[in-house]
C-alpha cells in the first residue's frame, strides 16, 4: 500500500542553505578566534578529508556542498551508501579558516543524520518485508525535522505525517475531549477532503465502537501498544469492514520483537526511536 503522506526524499537547496546559515550563525563561524590566532591573519590553503570511523549508512551529502560552496568539494560516498570504518566520505580543498570554522556544524549534522539513517536501515533490514513499511513519527528535533525525516528515507524507511497540518490523527487525548466523534469526522471530511484521517486505537472494544459510531470510513488506523495476538484480531476486524484502510502498529516495538509483527497483514510499523534514540555515528574531519 502506498504511503499516507508526502515523503521527504529530497530537500531544496534553498531550504538547506537557509538552515545552514542559521546553524553557522549560532556557532559564530565568522568569528572563529582560535583559527584567526593560529593563522596570524594569513591565508592558508589546505585539503581535508571527511572520514567514517565506524560502519554506517551515510546521510548528508547535500550538507557538505552547502557548507563548503566556495571550496573544491568531492563527495566519494552518496546518501544511503554503506561505509566501513576508514572510508573517506569526501575530500575538501580550500581556505583553512573557512574549513575549520565550519567543521563542528558539519560533523554534528553528518554524525546525527547518519545515525538516524543507520538505525532506520537496521530496522528495515531486520524486518525484511516488501509489504510493511518502517515509519518515523513526529518525535524529531525542533529545527531539524526535515533533515531527520530525509535521513529516515535515506535509510530505507518512510515518513509519517510531517506536521499537524499534514494529516489528521485522533489520539487518546483528542478522543478524550471529543464530544461527538461522528460529527467531528464528518466535519473534517467536508472541510479537508484531501487530508487523510487516522484514529489511534488501544483495544478491540474501542475499535468496535469506532466503526459503530463513525458513518464515514477513516483512511488509517493506528493500533497502539498491542501484543501481536491483539493486533491479529483487530486486523481481521478492520479488513472485513474496510479492506483498503492503512493499518499501522506502534508502541514498544523494538529490534528485539519486530519480527513478531512481520507476518501480520499490516501496512506500517511506526518507530519513534529511529529519530529520537538514534546514536550519532563517529565521523571525523582531518587535514591531509
Helix (H, G, I), strand (E, B) or coil at 65: helix
Sheet holding 133-135, edge to edge: 133-135, 268-270, 246-250, 220-224, 197-201, 168-170
- Beta-carbon count within 10 A of 26 CB: 10
Residue 207, C-alpha cell as written in the block: 475499535
Closest of 177, 183, 242, 248 to residue 213, by C-alpha: 183
Catalytic residue among 19, 130, 139, 149: 139
Q: CB of 283 within 8 A of CB of 89?
A: yes
Pairing verdict, β 268-270 and 246-250: parallel
- Site of grid cell 546553524: 23
d(CA 9, CA 11): 7
Handedness of CA 98, 104, 107, 108 (dihedral sign): negative
DSSP 187-223: HHHHH-TTS-EEEEE-SHHHHHHHHHH-SS--SEEEE
Burial class (CB in 10 A: 0-12, 13-18, 19+), 193: exposed
Asked if 139 is an active-site residue, the reply is yes
Active site residues: 139
Amino acid at each position: 500500500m502506498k504511503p499516507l503522506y508526502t515523503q521527504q526524499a529530497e530537500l531544496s537547496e534553498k531550504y538547506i542553505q537557509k538552515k545552514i546559515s542559521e546553524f553557522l550563525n549560532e556557532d559564530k563561524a565568522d568569528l572563529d578566534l582560535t583559527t584567526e590566532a593560529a593563522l596570524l591573519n594569513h591565508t592558508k590553503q589546505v585539503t581535508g578529508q571527511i572520514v567514517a570511523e565506524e560502519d554506517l549508512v551515510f546521510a548528508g551529502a547535500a550538507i557538505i556542498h552547502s557548507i563548503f560552496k566556495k571550496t573544491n568539494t568531492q563527495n566519494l560516498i552518496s546518501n544511503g551508501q554503506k561505509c566501513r570504518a576508514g572510508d573517506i566520505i569526501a575530500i575538501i580543498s580550500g581556505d583553512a579558516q573557512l574549513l575549520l570554522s565550519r567543521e563542528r556544524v558539519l560533523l554534528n549534522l553528518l554524525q546525527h543524520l547518519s545515525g538516524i539513517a543507520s538505525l532506520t536501515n537496521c530496522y528495515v533490514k531486520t524486518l525484511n518485508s516488501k509489504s510493511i513499511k518502517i515509519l518515523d513519527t513526529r518525535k524529531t528535533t525542533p529545527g531539524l525535522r526535515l533533515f531527520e525525516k530525509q535521513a529516515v528515507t535515506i535509510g530505507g524507511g518512510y515518513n509519517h505525517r510531517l506536521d499537524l497540518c499534514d494529516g489528521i490523527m485522533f489520539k487518546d487525548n483528542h478522543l478524550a475531549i471529543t464530544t461527538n466523534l461522528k460529527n467531528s469526522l464528518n466535519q473534517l471530511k467536508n472541510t479537508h477532503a484531501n487530508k487523510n484521517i487516522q484514529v489511534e486505537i488501544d483495544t478491540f472494544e474501542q475499535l468496535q465502537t469506532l466503526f459503530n459510531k463513525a458513518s464515514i470510513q477513516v483512511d488509517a488506523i493506528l493500533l497502539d501498544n498491542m501484543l501481536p495476538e491483539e493486533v491479529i484480531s483487530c486486523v481481521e476486524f478492520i479488513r472485513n469492514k474496510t479492506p483498503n484502510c492503512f493499518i499501522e502498529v506502534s508502541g514498544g516495538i523494538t529490534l528485539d520483537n519486530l519480527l513478531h509483527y512481520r507476518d501480520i497483514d499490516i501496512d506500517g510499523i511506526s518507530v519513534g526511536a529511529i529519530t529520537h534514540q538514534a546514536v550519532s555515528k563517529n565521523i571525523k574531519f582531518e587535514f591531509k
